[in-house]
Amino acid sequence: MLPGKYKLKKESHFKKVFQKGESYQEKFMRLKVLKNDLEISRFAFIVSLKISKKAAQRNKVRRQLEEIVRLRLNRIKPGLDLIISVNPEITKENYRAIEKNLLSLFRKAKIIWNY
């Protein structure tokens, strides 16, 4: 589980990232990135009802994304706010495909080191 200090929580921060952040897209995932004035990067994961009506399915996707990020926190550039949102096709993918897609997004955005 991703520690709370790495989570983007306030609505005002979300709005700022959506309005001013840079966008990147892969097959079934989108990434919005905006610099913050902190020494850590913060993350938010948007898994809407469009993904699945079942909360268990949405939570599984969210947990997978959080775990992928948690395992690579030391390689992600600090000082960024990131919002990761997913498309319904993600439910057809396995963990490795989701991991590959997310890391590809991070490389596109140039926010991950040594990868």
| CATH architecture of the region 4-108 | 2-Layer Sandwich (3.30)
Q: What is the pLDDT of residues 7-56, one digit of tens each?
A: 999 999 999 999 999 999 998 999 999 999 999 999 999 999 999 999 99
Whether residue 71 contacts residue 105, with contact meaning beta carbons closer than 8 Å, is answered with no
* Domain positions in the chain: 4-108
Distance (Å, rounded) from C-alpha 103 to C-alpha 98? 9
pTM of the complete model beyond 0.95: no
